[in-house]
Amino acid sequence: MRVARRHRTSSALRTICAALTLTALGTSLPHGTGGADADRVGRGRVCRSALPADQELSCGTYGFGDLRYACPKPDTPWRCTTTTQVRVRNTGPAVVYVSVIHGAHQGERLQSPERAIASRRTATLRPGRGHLLFDLTLRGAGPGTSLTVVSVR
Protein backbone atom coordinates (compact mmCIF):
# COMPACT_ATOMS: atom_id res chain seq x y z
CA MET A 1 0.00 0.00 0.00
CA ARG A 2 2.83 2.36 0.82
CA VAL A 3 4.45 1.75 -2.61
CA ALA A 4 1.24 2.60 -4.45
CA ARG A 5 0.90 5.84 -2.50
CA ARG A 6 4.49 6.88 -3.31
CA HIS A 7 3.79 6.22 -7.00
CA ARG A 8 0.68 8.42 -6.93
CA THR A 9 2.57 11.25 -5.22
CA SER A 10 5.43 10.99 -7.70
CA SER A 11 3.04 11.02 -10.65
CA ALA A 12 1.10 13.98 -9.25
CA LEU A 13 4.33 15.84 -8.55
CA ARG A 14 5.51 15.33 -12.14
CA THR A 15 2.19 16.64 -13.45
CA ILE A 16 2.35 19.72 -11.24
CA CYS A 17 5.97 20.40 -12.21
CA ALA A 18 5.12 20.11 -15.91
CA ALA A 19 2.20 22.51 -15.52
CA LEU A 20 4.33 25.02 -13.60
CA THR A 21 7.08 24.81 -16.20
CA LEU A 22 4.66 25.58 -19.01
CA THR A 23 3.15 28.43 -17.01
CA ALA A 24 6.59 29.83 -16.21
CA LEU A 25 7.53 29.90 -19.87
CA GLY A 26 4.61 32.24 -20.40
CA THR A 27 4.51 31.61 -24.07
CA SER A 28 1.85 30.96 -26.61
CA LEU A 29 2.02 28.50 -29.44
CA PRO A 30 2.49 29.86 -32.94
CA HIS A 31 -0.59 31.49 -34.40
CA GLY A 32 -0.81 30.54 -38.02
CA THR A 33 -3.06 28.97 -40.55
CA GLY A 34 -1.53 25.55 -40.01
CA GLY A 35 -0.31 23.28 -42.75
CA ALA A 36 3.02 23.66 -44.53
CA ASP A 37 3.56 27.30 -43.51
CA ALA A 38 2.76 26.79 -39.82
CA ASP A 39 6.43 27.14 -38.85
CA ARG A 40 7.27 30.05 -41.17
CA VAL A 41 7.13 33.73 -40.26
CA GLY A 42 4.28 35.66 -41.84
CA ARG A 43 1.93 38.58 -41.41
CA GLY A 44 -0.30 38.28 -38.37
CA ARG A 45 1.94 35.90 -36.40
CA VAL A 46 2.10 36.79 -32.69
CA CYS A 47 4.77 36.39 -30.01
CA ARG A 48 3.54 36.73 -26.41
CA SER A 49 5.48 36.60 -23.17
CA ALA A 50 4.63 36.63 -19.48
CA LEU A 51 8.25 36.22 -18.41
CA PRO A 52 9.79 38.57 -15.83
CA ALA A 53 11.27 41.79 -17.22
CA ASP A 54 14.84 40.50 -16.92
CA GLN A 55 14.25 37.46 -19.18
CA GLU A 56 14.11 37.26 -22.98
CA LEU A 57 11.76 35.13 -25.02
CA SER A 58 12.69 33.67 -28.42
CA CYS A 59 9.95 34.78 -30.82
CA GLY A 60 11.33 32.47 -33.51
CA THR A 61 10.61 29.50 -31.27
CA TYR A 62 7.46 30.77 -29.51
CA GLY A 63 5.31 32.62 -31.98
CA PHE A 64 6.79 33.75 -35.28
CA GLY A 65 8.28 30.55 -36.65
CA ASP A 66 11.27 30.30 -38.97
CA LEU A 67 12.60 33.80 -39.65
CA ARG A 68 15.37 32.93 -42.12
CA TYR A 69 13.26 32.92 -45.27
CA ALA A 70 10.33 34.95 -46.59
CA CYS A 71 7.99 33.04 -48.89
CA PRO A 72 5.37 34.84 -51.00
CA LYS A 73 2.90 31.95 -50.82
CA PRO A 74 2.87 28.82 -48.65
CA ASP A 75 2.49 26.54 -51.67
CA THR A 76 5.56 27.93 -53.49
CA PRO A 77 8.57 27.15 -51.24
CA TRP A 78 10.95 27.32 -54.21
CA ARG A 79 10.26 31.07 -54.46
CA CYS A 80 11.47 31.83 -50.93
CA THR A 81 14.19 34.43 -50.41
CA THR A 82 16.26 35.26 -47.36
CA THR A 83 14.43 37.60 -45.01
CA THR A 84 15.75 41.15 -45.27
CA GLN A 85 13.36 42.72 -42.76
CA VAL A 86 10.48 42.00 -40.42
CA ARG A 87 8.14 44.80 -39.44
CA VAL A 88 6.56 44.26 -36.01
CA ARG A 89 4.00 46.11 -33.92
CA ASN A 90 4.00 46.27 -30.14
CA THR A 91 0.43 45.18 -29.41
CA GLY A 92 0.91 45.21 -25.65
CA PRO A 93 0.20 48.00 -23.15
CA ALA A 94 3.84 48.86 -22.30
CA VAL A 95 7.26 49.36 -23.86
CA VAL A 96 8.98 46.18 -25.06
CA TYR A 97 12.64 45.55 -25.86
CA VAL A 98 13.56 43.59 -28.96
CA SER A 99 16.89 42.37 -30.28
CA VAL A 100 17.83 40.70 -33.56
CA ILE A 101 19.81 37.45 -33.64
CA HIS A 102 21.63 37.19 -36.98
CA GLY A 103 24.71 35.76 -38.66
CA ALA A 104 26.50 35.38 -41.96
CA HIS A 105 25.88 31.60 -42.02
CA GLN A 106 24.39 28.73 -40.02
CA GLY A 107 26.20 28.34 -36.72
CA GLU A 108 27.20 31.99 -36.38
CA ARG A 109 25.05 34.02 -34.00
CA LEU A 110 25.36 37.73 -33.33
CA GLN A 111 22.92 39.71 -31.18
CA SER A 112 22.08 43.33 -31.86
CA PRO A 113 21.60 45.82 -29.04
CA GLU A 114 18.07 45.90 -27.64
CA ARG A 115 15.67 48.29 -29.25
CA ALA A 116 12.75 49.81 -27.33
CA ILE A 117 9.36 49.79 -29.04
CA ALA A 118 6.62 51.84 -27.39
CA SER A 119 3.08 50.53 -27.03
CA ARG A 120 1.11 50.53 -30.30
CA ARG A 121 4.24 51.50 -32.27
CA THR A 122 5.77 49.69 -35.24
CA ALA A 123 9.45 48.97 -35.89
CA THR A 124 11.37 47.48 -38.79
CA LEU A 125 14.01 44.94 -37.75
CA ARG A 126 16.81 43.88 -40.10
CA PRO A 127 19.52 41.21 -39.85
CA GLY A 128 22.25 43.25 -41.53
CA ARG A 129 23.59 43.12 -45.05
CA GLY A 130 24.37 39.59 -46.18
CA HIS A 131 23.21 38.05 -42.89
CA LEU A 132 20.46 35.57 -42.12
CA LEU A 133 17.80 36.54 -39.59
CA PHE A 134 17.75 33.70 -37.05
CA ASP A 135 15.59 35.06 -34.26
CA LEU A 136 14.00 38.05 -32.57
CA THR A 137 14.04 38.21 -28.79
CA LEU A 138 11.31 39.89 -26.77
CA ARG A 139 11.64 41.33 -23.29
CA GLY A 140 9.11 43.35 -21.35
CA ALA A 141 7.22 43.46 -18.08
CA GLY A 142 3.79 42.08 -17.42
CA PRO A 143 1.41 39.59 -18.94
CA GLY A 144 0.48 41.76 -21.92
CA THR A 145 3.92 41.76 -23.55
CA SER A 146 3.38 40.95 -27.24
CA LEU A 147 4.56 41.62 -30.78
CA THR A 148 2.64 41.05 -34.01
CA VAL A 149 4.24 40.69 -37.43
CA VAL A 150 3.01 43.42 -39.78
CA SER A 151 5.05 42.45 -42.82
CA VAL A 152 7.99 40.35 -43.96
CA ARG A 153 10.43 40.95 -46.81
Residue ranges covered by each domain of the chain: 27-152
Burial of 83 (0-12, 13-18, 19+ CB in 10 A): buried
Across 34-38, 71-75, 123-127, least confident range: 34-38
Query: Which CATH code fits 27-152?
Result: 2.60.290
Contact, 141 vs 94, CB < 8 A? yes
Q: How large a percentage of the chain has pLDDT more than 90?
A: 42
For residue 105, give every residue at least 6 positions away whose Cβ sits within 8 Å of its Cβ, in sequence order, or none: 132
For residue 73, give every residue at least 6 positions away whose Cβ sits within 8 Å of its Cβ, in sequence order, or none: 79
Distance separating alpha carbons of residues 68 and 41, to the nearest angstrom:
8
Residue-wise pLDDT tens digits, 59-116: 989 888 788 888 776 666 667 888 999 999 999 999 999 999 999 998 899 999 999 9
- pTM tops 0.75, yes or no: no
